[in-house]
Amino acid sequence: MDKLREKAAALLADGTVTMVLGYEEGTNKPRPVFCHTAEQASKLVYSSQCINNLAVYLTKKEIMGTGKVAIIATIPTLRSILQLSVENQLNEDNLVVITVMDKDEVKQFANFAEIEAYIADFQLKLDGKEQEIINKLEGMSREERFKFWMEEMSHCFKCYACRAACPLCYCTKCIVEENRPQWINPWAAPLANMEWQINRAMHMAGRCTGCGACGDACPVGIPIHLLTRKMMEDLAPEFGFTPGQPSKNGNALSTWKADDKENFIR
Amino acid sequence: METKYISKNGLNEWFSQIVKSGKRVYAPVEERGKVEFKKVQALSEVAEEYIQTTQSIKSAVFPRAEVLFSYEKENGQVKVDDFNPDTVKETVLWKVHPCDAAGFKPLTAIFNWDYTDKLYNAHLEKTTLVTFSCAKADKSCFCTSVNGGPGNTTGSDVLLTMLPDGGAIVEILTPKGEALVQLAASAFEKDKGEDKSKYLADVPLTFDLEEVRARLATAFDSPVWKEQSERCIGCGACAFVCPTCACFDIQEDAHGSKGKRIRCWDSCGFSLFTLHTSGHNPRAVQSQRWRQRILHKFSYMPDRLSVFGCTGCGRCSRACPVDMNILEHITSISKK
Amino acid sequence: MNNNNSEFEPKIVAFVCNWCTYAGADLTGTSRLKYATNVKIVRFPCTGRIDFMLLLKAFAQGADGVIVSGCHPNDCHYTSGNFHARRRWITFRGLLDFMGIDIRRIQYSWVSAAEGAKWADIVNTTVANIRELGPYTEYQKVADYLDKEDYNG
Amino acid sequence: MSKIGVFICHCGENISATVDCEKVAQDIRKVEGVEYAIDYKYMCSDPGQTLIKDAIKEHHLDGVVVGSCSPRMHEPTFRKACAEAGLNPFLCEMANLREHCSWVHEKGEATTEKAFDLVKMLVEKVKRNKPLDSIKVPITKKALVIGGGIAGIQASLDIANTGHQVILIEKDPSIGGHMSQLSETFPTLDCSQCILTPRMVEVAQHPNITLYTYAELDSLEGFIGNFTAKIRLKAKSVDHKKCTGCGACFQKCPQKRIPSEFNAGLGTRTAIYVPFPQAVPNKPVIDREHCNYYKRGKCKICEATCPTGAIEWDKEDEILTEQVGAIVVTTGFNVKGADFFPEYGYGQYKDVITGLQFERLASASGPTLGEIRRPSDGTIPKKIVFIACAGSRDEAKGIPYCSKICCMYTAKHAMLYQHKVHDGESTVFYMDIRAGGKNYEEFVRRAIEEDHVNYVRGRVARVYEKNGKLIVKGVDTLLSGEQVEIEADMVVLATAGVSNCGAEQLAQKMHISYDPYHFFAEAHPKLKPVETNTAGIFLAGACQAPKDIPETVGMASGAAVKVAGLFSNNELVREPLIAVVNRSAPPVFSTCVGCFMCQTACPYNAIEREEIKGRDGKVIKTVAKVNPGLCQGCGTCVAFCRSKSIDIQGYSNEQMFAEVMSLLNH
């Protein structure tokens, strides 16, 4: 922890960066914090408890300002950073990316390429609990699956925490705010909620890096991250992507292969 | 009004009489690892071990989405089918907490401020609140700091304080409450003179509400908003779980020549909430939206409606994906 | 679900590309081949243009089935619109199935400008299939959200 | 509030036989926004069109729906009619009541109801149509032709003869390409050079053609009608203005043993050289790789011998920037050569040669002045074996396709051999004989019947040397199915035609697509054989796939006509049914967030980056911009854009949404 604080303090002290994004102790678990001075760096903490994906702040101009910023990134955050850069949302020169390795060793990445090499060693796997629900769902009849999701969706009150927590939901105007035409009814109701989630999942196809922030953020506990996660698992092999690793030159839906396999088109 | 005692069995009897009377009963139910208000038939369905439901029960009087009126156009003529108060069902809200009950006061103030809202009042009129004092609290609770308390009666029709013997002290507070009690008058016994305060949770007083209000009066341009809101990601979770947030949007559900005019929840935390057609957004950044949320609850509402917009239920703090802890933030303001 | 569907007339919307299937359907007409009246064609420039939301909206609005049809692979007027579409549908289909939406009600096909007979066949078999499946009330029920008394709680 | 006019056509009885047209017209009047509706026997007839025009004027219609035949049939007709009545043509839509309704359904209520629905659907669309203006793109009337083979020569001449300027660039020191290497041409056996060289000279002398040899495309930007091409003029080290082409220099050049490209390695050339006697331009360049001076810093004999002092030792590559309106790519092909056929001993045995090398042997201008002699010892081969499909149609070699020309030139080779070596014996191993084409089959028959070429159907397993002879081991799969073994003096491989080296890089420079074998891809396999999917760039000749001379020339003229057609207007007028990126009030400017995923989705590279700058000139955001010159209007980007920031005119989100809704609302 000290190494991390020292590093952050140093970056701020010598003016390398104007701000360090990291984690501080929160009510029940660590939460995002923004250090503007070397002193504030002493608040920083880092542990497996740090689950917020800080990459979500990188596309917020009001937070980032124009100066150079450092971010303390967990593995999921690193994945998001790479995907954001693929999508032209980051300026490599304005970002110092730091991660904490085992024994609290602090690693500062020279560039995004180095990040790519680093995360390549970290496999993205569904954790037991997720796999369990997926298996349960796949075991169900279609009607049961529909009932399951409709019940889940009936709890959604459209707070869009899933969208707000996702680093890749950075549109200035989201499809749900589009009203010409009104693609998705803006009020909370099972169908409208489901339509929103289907859109979210489709928009994430080939982009989602599987950090699970959407699911963690949902105040009413809908396992929405499974939608994007499941799709990732299904599409990655199909279209030759590696789950959690950004696909350069386009994603699952903006590219194609002449020999893409399907068995349902007559 | 008067105070009575009800035994464990009496409680069961009363509850079943309420259900029998045909009233809809909403009570906290544990499902999917969450405790939420749900329509129930039997007391056994009601959750026991929990601090707070994730969502408040404001949806009973202010639904997430409701039809203001529907219409149909046929060769030039428009037929409007307006909202009919008689369609609203008698409803009992069972085992709400004092902080939930207290929330109905600011809601009622808002919906009767410059305009008397037919729908809201129709719902409220047919709703009876059976409140249970809190025996437990967590570190997000701060009702005592906002004129409330674990045994506070504000907004309730009946207040129950559970006793070790499974019975309860029953404070009948309104004619509505009395009427509900009458459904099973025999189930109630004479007050045993127990002091309910013994059975209440300990919720420490953390800030002086008036002090906060005083500071806020001059805090509009304070840097505190930026500092506090930096990590806010601008979702609507806090507003939607809040028992007093009443922002709404009016929407159209049109299909060809038929349609419905719908009122649905909205949140001042959303970036497009104040966006003008011109492209100008008076609250362009999250810090301004956060300021709006706090000032509205702790400054504007007391100024205009003589009631605070916060009951200390702590739901927003619990629901926030990035741990924007309102208690912590308000306390820091009061100490500045 | 599907009892006495004899008088049930499925509502089916067909989303087709202008260059192959629309022209193919024209050929069905010029060849005077008959098919069921249940299917109504919406013309798109290319299958690549077809937004997945339009399919969902069709169901929400009461469609019992949907046909999506365009040029055979390698025949796309825009060279790759249908390849993009194919990927979109592979992705979409997997998601819908995972959410329990009845993907049997969506018929995808490649129908070229020369396949007038195939178009008639696609329409007739689809109508037959949907008739068998019955009305998609399961989906339409959740569409009328507000009548669901306590969905709020 | 819209004022839509609806016009229902009976099409004689074609529609009215099964659809109650009057009823459709009546019922549609009740629909919101329909101002006027009427049915008529023939809407496309003059009186029918007049009906529409009058209604537009009389009722001030702001939209028209014609319920009649397929829009693919009469959309232009009715849009024109509307335009004549002063209504923007794109405010007119057609409901397909004939092909999609009356002709495919029996008479009855259901059919009439469907007809009504189809019309209502289009009414809902038209309500949301916007007046559109055709897109006009200015055109630079100058063409760039890349590659100076017969395709490039033909295309250049054809374009130049229509009076337009042409720039022809050729990477070698001379134009002429592979055709100039050929001896005689099938099926007429007329001498290749005799028919080619006049064309080469014509190119050099044509007032409308600017020829740059020893030049390559460096980069290409822009779009149809407005390309900017950067052309690299490789340093020739000889000033062609001063050079008279006297040839003194290359007679004196001490570097004499450089294998000659023109002679496919069978002959030699000097370091300062003219590739072949009839070269155009007939002036030398210095091959710096082999030149003594560039290698060792001394020699300069050529400079000493040059009477005009034309040698430029320090000459550097020049980059020339040219504005052109269209491009014809004619970069040709190549044949598989060395060590691709170890089993046939190519590169190992001197007397195993490729078809192209045989052409040089048979050519009067070749190293043997037209006599067929073995490269190894110069003797005349008495037994010769030709192996067709050397590499072609061979999955194992990664070339599944047929190289198309081999069957014919192999027959020609065998024939030429028989003509030149009367007592010689020639055998052709083949898989199939593909002689489709005018007089082609007859030509092959002649080889077999008159010139007694021995055709053996079967693959050759291997070729190896045994005391001075080349043993060709194969199987006769047609008759005996037995092993065939021939002791040959010479073996000629009809090696597969492959894409030219650098084809892939060139395609990427120009943003045109190519197939797995790096042959350039045509826009449509049937209907757009000379177009690429990048508007304004055309293809001709073997760079698209191996093909023979007549086909190449035909294709080149085809491409030339496309260019001439494009140049026949001052502006390119295109239907405005293209994608546009939305713009909104500041501070948002556009809901596009600039993820540029659409760029990867667009088949036409039509999506560019646009920087939105503030008053201070600082970049506020970078958003997508659709180039109206390139966009073809497929709408893939529209369906793909997450924030719905791109929409397509004529098939907009609002229009399509409204159509679907209207079909289902009742």
CA atoms in the 13 A half-sphere facing the CB of B166: 6
Chain A: closest CA distance from residue C112 (Å) = 12
* Segment among A231-235, B23-27, B214-218 with least mean pLDDT: A231-235
- Flag whether residue D633 sits within 8 Å of chain C, measured between CB atoms: yes
Q: Do B73 and D32 touch (CB under 8 A)?
A: yes
- How many domains does one find in chain B? 1
Q: What is the CA radius of gyration of chain D?
A: 33
Q: How many CB pairs under 8 A join A and B?
A: 104
CA–CA separation, D360 and B77 (whole Å): 90
- Flag whether residue D657 sits within 8 Å of chain C, measured between CB atoms: yes
Nearest CA in chain B to D588: B279
Which chain D residues in 504-533 lie under 8 Å from chain C, judged by CB atoms?
Answer: 513, 523-525, 533
| Residue numbers in A near C80 (CB within 8 A) | 256
- Flag whether residue C147 sits within 8 Å of chain B, measured between CB atoms: no
Which chains border C (3 or more CB–CB pairs < 8 Å)? A, B, D
Give yes or no: residues A174 and A100 share one domain.
Answer: no
Q: Do A185 and B319 touch (CB under 8 A)?
A: no
Secondary structure, 3-state, C117-147:
HHHHHHHHHHHHHHHHHCCCHHHHHHHCHHH
Chain B: closest CA distance from residue C153 (Å) = 5
Chain D: closest CA distance from residue B285 (Å) = 12
Which chains border D (3 or more CB–CB pairs < 8 Å)? A, B, C
Q: Do C153 and B67 touch (CB under 8 A)?
A: no
Chain B: closest CA distance from residue A105 (Å) = 26
Nearest CA in chain A to B321: A217
pLDDT in the model for residue C151: 38
Q: In this structure, what token pair is assigned to residue D213?
A: 């040899």
Give yes or no: residues A106 and A144 share one domain.
Answer: no
Q: In this structure, what token pair is assigned to residue D167?
A: 């720039």
Beta bridge partners of D233: D215, D318
| Residue numbers in B near C149 (CB within 8 A) | 39
Q: Buried b / exposed e across D540-563, counting CB within 10 Å, b at 16+?
A: bbbbbbbbbbebbbbbbbbbbbbb
Burial status of residue D320 (CB atoms within 10 A of its CB: 0-12, 13-18, 19 or more): middle
Disruptive mutation site among D73, D74, D75, D100 for chain C (greatest number of C CBs within 10 Å): D100
CA distance readout (Å), D375 to D362, D390, D489: 13, 20, 11
Q: Helices A190-204 and A142-155 sit at what angle, rounded to 10 degrees?
A: 100
Write the pLDDT tens digit of every residue in A44-81.
999 999 999 999 999 999 999 889 999 999 999 999 99
| Residue numbers in C near D523 (CB within 8 A) | 79
Instruction: Considering only residues A128 and B92, tell me which one the structure prediction assigns the higher pLDDT.
Output: B92
CA–CA separation, A113 and B139 (whole Å): 44
Write the pLDDT tens digit of every residue in D532-557.
978 899 999 999 999 999 999 999 99
| CATH code for the domain of A132 | 1.10.1060
Length of chain C: 153
**Residues B311/B149, Cβ–Cβ less than 8 Å:** no
Is A112 contained in some domain?
yes
Q: Do B64 and C152 touch (CB under 8 A)?
A: yes
Task: List the single residue in C28, C42, C46 with the smallest CB-CB distance to D634.
Answer: C46
ipTM of the complex: 0.95
Secondary structure, 3-state, A205-242:
CCCCCCCCHHHHHCCCCCCCHHHHHHHHHHHHHHHCCC
Instruction: Judge whether residue B155 has pLDDT over 50.
Output: yes
pLDDT in the model for residue C145: 64
Instruction: Judge whether residue B168 has pLDDT over 70.
Output: yes
Q: Do A266 and C99 touch (CB under 8 A)?
A: no
Amino acid at A13: A
Q: Do B251 and A187 touch (CB under 8 A)?
A: yes
Compute the Cα dihedral for B34, B35, B40, B41 and give only its sign.
positive
CA–CA separation, A167 and A169 (whole Å): 6
Give yes or no: residues A76 and A163 share one domain.
Answer: no
Q: In this structure, what token pair is assigned to residue D629?
A: 């010159």
Is A265 contained in some domain?
no
Task: List the single residue in D584, D588, D665 with the smallest CB-CB distance to B256.
Answer: D665
Chain C: closest CA distance from residue B64 (Å) = 6
Query: B211: how many CB neighbours lie within 10 A of its CB?
Result: 12
Chain D: closest CA distance from residue B280 (Å) = 7
Write the pLDDT tens digit of every residue in B272-329.
999 998 889 999 999 999 999 999 999 999 999 999 999 999 999 999 999 999 999 9
Q: Do D523 and C79 touch (CB under 8 A)?
A: yes
Q: Do C98 and A191 touch (CB under 8 A)?
A: no
Instruction: Judge whether residue B245 has pLDDT over 50.
Output: yes
Q: Which domain holds residue B326?
A: 3-335
Write the pLDDT tens digit of every residue in D338-390.
668 888 988 889 999 999 999 999 999 899 999 999 999 999 999 999 999 99
Is A22 contained in some domain?
yes
pLDDT in the model for residue C149: 53
Is A224 contained in some domain?
yes
Q: Which domain holds residue A185?
A: 128-239
User: Which residue is listed with tokens 């290698």?
Assistant: D295
Which residue from A180, D595, D126, D620 is spatially nearest to B277, judged by alpha carbons? A180
**Residues B294/B216, Cβ–Cβ less than 8 Å:** yes
Ordered domains of chain D (ranges, CATH): 4-127 (3.40.50), 142-175+213-228+317-332+500-567 (3.50.50.60), 248-305 (no CATH), 341-497 (3.50.50.60), 579-649 (3.30.70.3270)
Task: List the single residue in A89, A181, A255 with the smallest CB-CB distance to D653.
Answer: A181
Compute the Cα dihedral for D342, D347, D350, D352 and give only its sign.
positive
- Flag whether residue B59 sits within 8 Å of chain C, measured between CB atoms: yes
CA–CA separation, C120 and C118 (whole Å): 5
CA–CA separation, A161 and B236 (whole Å): 7
Chain B: closest CA distance from residue D584 (Å) = 7
**Residues D284/D250, Cβ–Cβ less than 8 Å:** yes
**Residues B42/B89, Cβ–Cβ less than 8 Å:** no
Disruptive mutation site among C13, C40, C53, C56 for chain D (greatest number of D CBs within 10 Å): C40
pLDDT in the model for residue D1: 74
Q: Do A198 and C138 touch (CB under 8 A)?
A: no
| Residue numbers in C near D602 (CB within 8 A) | none
Give, in words, the CATH class of C12-147: alpha beta
Which residue from B89, B98, B86 is spatially nearest to B135, judged by alpha carbons? B98
What is the mean pLDDT of the segment spanning B204-217? 95
Write the pLDDT tens digit of every residue in A160-200.
999 999 999 999 999 999 999 999 999 998 899 999 999 99
**Residues B109/B76, Cβ–Cβ less than 8 Å:** no
CA atoms in the 13 A half-sphere facing the CB of D529: 13
Q: Do A146 and C110 touch (CB under 8 A)?
A: no
pLDDT in the model for residue D550: 96
What are the mean pLDDT values of chain D's consecutive 10-residue runs (666 residues total)? 95 97 96 96 97 98 97 94 97 98 97 98 97 93 98 98 98 97 94 95 97 96 91 97 94 94 94 95 96 94 95 96 97 85 87 95 93 95 96 91 96 96 96 95 96 94 92 89 92 95 91 88 88 92 97 98 96 92 90 94 93 92 93 95 96 97 85
Which residue from D31, A153, C147 is spatially nearest to B260, judged by alpha carbons? C147
Task: List the single residue in D70, D104, D648 with the smallest CB-CB distance to C34.
Answer: D104
CA–CA separation, A221 and A212 (whole Å): 12
Q: Which residues contact B76 (CB under 8 A, 6 or more apart)?
A: none
**Residues A210/A235, Cβ–Cβ less than 8 Å:** no
CA–CA separation, D536 and D629 (whole Å): 10
Q: Do B38 and C61 touch (CB under 8 A)?
A: no
| Residue numbers in C near B255 (CB within 8 A) | 61
Nearest CA in chain A to B286: A62
Instruction: Pick the last residue of a domain from A119, A140, A165.
Output: A119
CA–CA separation, A176 and D77 (whole Å): 40
pLDDT in the model for residue D511: 80
Q: Do C13 and D117 touch (CB under 8 A)?
A: no
Q: Do A62 and B287 touch (CB under 8 A)?
A: yes
Which residue from D98, D133, D125 is spatially nearest to D6, judged by alpha carbons? D125
Q: Do B63 and C152 touch (CB under 8 A)?
A: yes
Band (C4; pLDDT cuts 50, 70, 90): very low
pLDDT in the model for residue C1: 40
Instruction: Judge whether residue A29 has pLDDT over 50.
Output: yes
CA–CA separation, D416 and D505 (whole Å): 38
| Residue numbers in A near B233 (CB within 8 A) | 56, 161, 164-165
